[in-house]
């Protein structure tokens, strides 16, 4: 089982991502509604992947990526950015901070899973 | 990626997003008018629409996704300062939000989407007219660590530049928290800082010691270090002024900008927390009552000396303080009704335009205060009354002109406090209600059995429009043909223990009056007893208590009535209303004269059991709709009594029977 943390402030989109992962099988998902929740959830288990939105209140996705990448315990966890084409600049910044990839909403399940599988070493 | 399962989640979430966006927009309009726009609000609006777009896209709803994409683009330009917030921009934002809400409804109902090209063209025109801005060199004017700069989003970077441009002070507030309590800690700190300026970003950092978590908050403010430092005087928080590189003298000593102060010292509280507090106050009242009884008992035993006096004084003191707490909590619950009036103003604008009518909305008494929960529940009934007025009441401009009226119709919304009640009126200067038409419609629908005539039974005829299944509109219009009838309005008002009255004059207009108690959270009640059972009657609706001999009661058309001064008032025996065994024969009866608005009813009961503050609790779902009963309350000694719903009792008596 690969542990995946989904950080996204839309419950419905979190559900869609979770369902995609569940259908593919082999993933255990944790969900965080915002950056604070993500910070709280991070130590709860050893995550193999973080999928995060950029635009969130309080702590945004870039700040979360910056935190993960500057933290000894988490820096090796691959990150995928889920965002919209509007956030072109922000996406570039996320990649510069060390995210392994990004996917643009609305995305197809297949594209998401291709990226996820690449991130966790494929199956 | 289309899945049916979360579609309900989509609808609920989409509606939530749009509603909060509309609220933000109204605030934004006010702020724009006052010349002080909060960038946080614009950003919040942008984020809402951004989320909406992502959501719509994920659910394969192309039209809403396209429109929100366009709107998001516009809002992005606004928050980045590239497009100004003028009247046309605000009006376009409002219209597009309304259109998005309709698209959501259409997707929920499985209808085809309406055309959005008009709206997208309008946004394009606004974007085409934008001014250019943005300076790259600004960031070089301050000395900020690259590790901070690289995690800023484009928007945060823009706000940082604005802060630099406005020559405000830039502080880095560094705080560390234990892992268990960082969230409450950081939120409290953020709230404090927001009172002094703008939070540009919040960066989580690994804490130096390994345990816990650190944050760096970037704050732009016109205030100096001392002001900030004294308000966040905490051991785990440090403050650092970001030096400017473009001048020798830091602007720290600059005068404070007064407008920033208005970002007030308020806290947001879930009203249910206040309900819980109020429940506790109700229980304290019961305990106070018990202490009162013990004090009286002690006095009986030993006379008014020693501890009997002390206990009496303590009891009085407790009572006074308790009343203060109660008033304090009530005061917190109260909000000006203007909150919904503003929302309604928007509705009037939109509906009048759709209906092709010219309407002026006049608002009075928006400062009148009412319980927050009640204000929210009033929004729908008021909206419906206004829609009705626009749709059925006010004629199109050319018809009004022909009738010698001004072309612009008037809808007047007023609120007036009346003691423990508030009177809200919705008035129009339209064509009035056509009584003969109401009468024949009611007959046609089989809603009317007896004979009524237009001369003598105006009130009864007008009341017919509140019956379920009644509507006089010949064509179901876009505007009020949305499945809500006057019966729903009445039910909503009744649920708030309120009453609705109509007055109308052919050709001159219609006036709806809603009378409501200012709160349902706690009130004084008269405890009465009949046939061995106790009931609570809200004291706010008790006008008078009379002791009458049985022969003062007369019977007219098989209804019991009695003369009180110049009035003949219908009477109701509670034993009849609730199917209780007949009470004992008494020489004199008590008649509790109750009234709401202009209506009166005398309740015949066996005896009175005093007054008490009560907190009303809802009945279980099985009993929730019992006519004549609005809930239950505890009186102490574990005695639970039912609370009478005076409004529905009066209503029932008017209809001659109480449905069981």
Residue B366: give the domain boundaries. Answer: 337-434+472-517
The CATH number covering residue A112 comes to 3.40.50.2300
Residue A67: give the domain boundaries. Answer: 2-119
Chain B residue at shortest CA distance from A66 = B151
Find the mean pLDDT for residues A18-36: 91
Q: How do residues B276-334 score in pLDDT, each as one tens digit?
A: 888 888 888 888 888 988 888 888 888 878 888 889 889 999 989 998 898 888 888 88
The CATH number covering residue B169 comes to 3.30.70.1150
Is residue B599 a part of any domain in this protein? yes
Q: How do residues B216-264 score in pLDDT, each as one tens digit?
A: 899 998 888 888 888 887 778 888 888 876 654 444 434 333 344 434 4
Contact B97, B123 (CB under 8 A): no
Q: Which of B517, B551, B585 is the last residue of a domain?
A: B517
Q: How do residues B571-584 score in pLDDT, each as one tens digit?
A: 998 888 888 887 66
Look at residue B432 and tell me whether its pLDDT is greater than 80: yes
Q: Do B548 and B635 lie in a common domain?
A: yes
> Where are the extended beta strands (E) located within B162-274?
169-177, 198-206, 213-221, 237-241
CA B262 to mean position of chain CA atoms? 23
Look at residue B558 and tell me whether its pLDDT is greater than 90: no
Query: What percent of chain B has a predicted confidence (pLDDT) above 90?
Result: 10
CA B622 to mean position of chain CA atoms? 27
List CB contacts (< 8 A) between B50 and chain A. Answer: 55, 84, 86
List CB contacts (< 8 A) between B5 and chain A. Answer: 15, 19
The CATH number covering residue B407 comes to 3.30.565.10
Find the mean pLDDT for residues B470-488: 53
Q: Please give the full DSSP string across B276-312, using - where no structure is assigned.
A: HHHHHHHHHHHHHHHHHHHHHHHHHHH-SSHHHHHHH
Q: Do B90 and B152 lie in a common domain?
A: no
The CATH number covering residue B574 comes to 2.40.50.180
pLDDT of residue A122: 55
Find the mean pLDDT for residues B183-198: 88
pLDDT of residue B252: 41
Q: How far apart are CA B219 and CA B216, in angstroms?
A: 10
Token pair 């009177």 is found at B423
pLDDT of residue B412: 92
Token pair 């060199």 is found at B137
- B204 to chain A, any CB pair closer than 8 A? The answer is yes
List CB contacts (< 8 A) between B147 and chain A. Answer: 66, 70
Is residue B659 a part of any domain in this protein? no
Q: Do B376 and B309 lie in a common domain?
A: no
Q: Do B73 and B176 lie in a common domain?
A: no
* Domains in chain B, number: 5
Chain B residue at shortest CA distance from A71 = B206
Structure tokens at B171: 């502080």
Q: Do B504 and B361 lie in a common domain?
A: yes
Look at residue B439 and tell me whether its pLDDT is greater than 70: yes
Chain A residue at shortest CA distance from B178 = A40
pLDDT level of residue A117 (50, 70, 90 thresholds): very high
* Domains in chain A, number: 1
Minimal Cβ distance to A63: which of B54, B60, B203? B203
- B134 to chain A, any CB pair closer than 8 A? The answer is no
Nearest to B433 by CA among B460, B479, B381, B472: B472
């Amino acid at each position: 089982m690969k542990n995946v943390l989904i950080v996204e402030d839309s419950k419905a989109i979190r559900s869609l991502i979770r369902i995609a992962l569940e259908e593919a099988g082999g993933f255990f998902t944790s969900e965080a509604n915002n950056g604070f929740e993500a910070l709280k959830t991070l130590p709860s288990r050893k995550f193999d992947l973080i999928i995060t939105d950029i635009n969130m209140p309080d702590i945004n996705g870039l700040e979360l990526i910056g935190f993960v990448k500057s933290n000894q315990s988490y820096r090796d966890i691959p990150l995928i950015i889920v965002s919209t084409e509007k956030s072109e600049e922000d996406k570039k910044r996320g990649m510069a901070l060390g995210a392994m990839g990004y996917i643009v909403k609305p995305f197809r399940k297949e594209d998401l899973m291709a990226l996820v599988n690449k991130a966790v070493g494929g199956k | 990626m289309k899945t049916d399962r979360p579609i309900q989640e989509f609808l609920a979430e989409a509606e939530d997003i749009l509603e909060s966006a509309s609220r933000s927009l109204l605030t934004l309009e006010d702020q724009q008018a006052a010349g002080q726009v909060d960038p946080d609000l614009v950003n919040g609006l942008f984020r809402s629409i951004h989320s909406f777009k992502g959501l719509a896209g994920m659910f394969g709803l192309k039209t809403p996704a396209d429109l929100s994409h366009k709107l998001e683009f516009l809002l992005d330009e606004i928050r980045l300062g590239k497009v100004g917030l003028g009247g046309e921009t605000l009006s376009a934002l409002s219209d597009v939000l309304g259109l998005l809400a309709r698209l959501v409804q259409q997707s929920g109902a499985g209808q085809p989407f309406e055309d959005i090209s008009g709206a997208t063209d309008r946004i394009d025109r606004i974007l085409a007219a934008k001014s250019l801005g943005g300076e790259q060199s600004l960031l070089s004017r301050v000395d900020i660590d690259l590790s901070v700069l690289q995690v800023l989003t484009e928007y945060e970077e823009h706000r940082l530049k604005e802060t630099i441009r406005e020559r405000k002070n830039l502080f880095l507030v560094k705080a560390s928290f234990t892992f268990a309590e960082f969230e409450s800690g950081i939120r409290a700190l953020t709230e404090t800082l927001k009172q002094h300026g703008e939070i540009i970003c919040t960066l989580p950092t690994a804490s130096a010691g390994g345990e816990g978590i650190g944050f760096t908050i970037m704050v732009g403010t016109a205030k100096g270090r001392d002001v900030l430092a004294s308000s966040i005087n905490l051991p785990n928080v440090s403050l650092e002024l970001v030096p400017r590189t473009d001048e020798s003298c830091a602007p720290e000593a600059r005068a404070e900008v007064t407008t920033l102060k208005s970002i007030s010292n308020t806290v947001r509280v879930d009203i249910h927390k206040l309900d819980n507090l109020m429940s506790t106050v109700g229980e304290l009242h019961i305990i106070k009552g018990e202490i009162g009884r013990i004090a009286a008992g002690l006095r009986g035993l030993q006379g008014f000396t020693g501890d009997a006096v002390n206990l009496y004084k303590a009891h009085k003191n407790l009572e006074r303080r308790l009343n203060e707490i109660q008033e304090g909590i009530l005061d917190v619950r109260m909000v000006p009704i203007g909150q919904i009036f503003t929302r309604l103003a928007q509705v009037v604008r939109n509906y009048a335009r759709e209906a092709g009518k010219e309407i002026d909305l006049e608002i009075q008494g928006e400062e009148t205060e009412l319980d927050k929960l009640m204000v929210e529940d009033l929004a729908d009934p008021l909206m419906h009354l206004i829609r009705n007025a626009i749709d059925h009441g006010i004629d199109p401009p050319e018809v009004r002109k022909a009738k010698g009226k001004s072309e612009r119709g008037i809808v007047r919304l007023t609120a007036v406090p009346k003691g423990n009640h508030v009177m809200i009126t919705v008035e129009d200067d339209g064509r009035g209600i056509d009584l003969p038409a109401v009468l024949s419609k009611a007959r046609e629908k089989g809603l009317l059995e007896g004979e009524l005539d237009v001369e003598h039974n105006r009130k009864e005829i007008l009341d017919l429009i509140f019956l379920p299944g009644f509507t006089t509109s010949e064509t179901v219009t876009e505007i009020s043909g949305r499945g809500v009838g006057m019966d729903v309005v009445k039910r909503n008002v009744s649920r708030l223990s309120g009453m609705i009255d109509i007055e109308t004059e052919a050709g001159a207009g219609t006036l709806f009056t809603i009378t409501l108690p200012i709160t349902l959270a706690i009130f004084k009640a008269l405890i009465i007893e009949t046939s061995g059972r106790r009931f609570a009657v809200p004291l706010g609706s008790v006008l008078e208590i009379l002791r009458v001999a049985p022969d003062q009661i007369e019977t007219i058309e098989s209804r019991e009535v009695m003369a009180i001064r110049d009035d003949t008032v219908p009477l109701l025996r509670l034993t009849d209303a609730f199917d209780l065994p007949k009470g004992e024969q008494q020489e004199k009866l008590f008649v509790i004269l109750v009234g709401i608005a202009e209506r009166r009813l005398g309740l015949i009961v066996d005896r009175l059991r005093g007054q008490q503050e009560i907190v009303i609790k809802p009945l279980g779902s099985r009993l929730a709709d019992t006519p004549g009963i609005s809930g239950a309350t505890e009186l102490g000694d574990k005695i639970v009594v039912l609370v009478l719903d005076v409004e529905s009792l009066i209503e029932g008596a008017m209809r001659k029977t109480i449905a069981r």
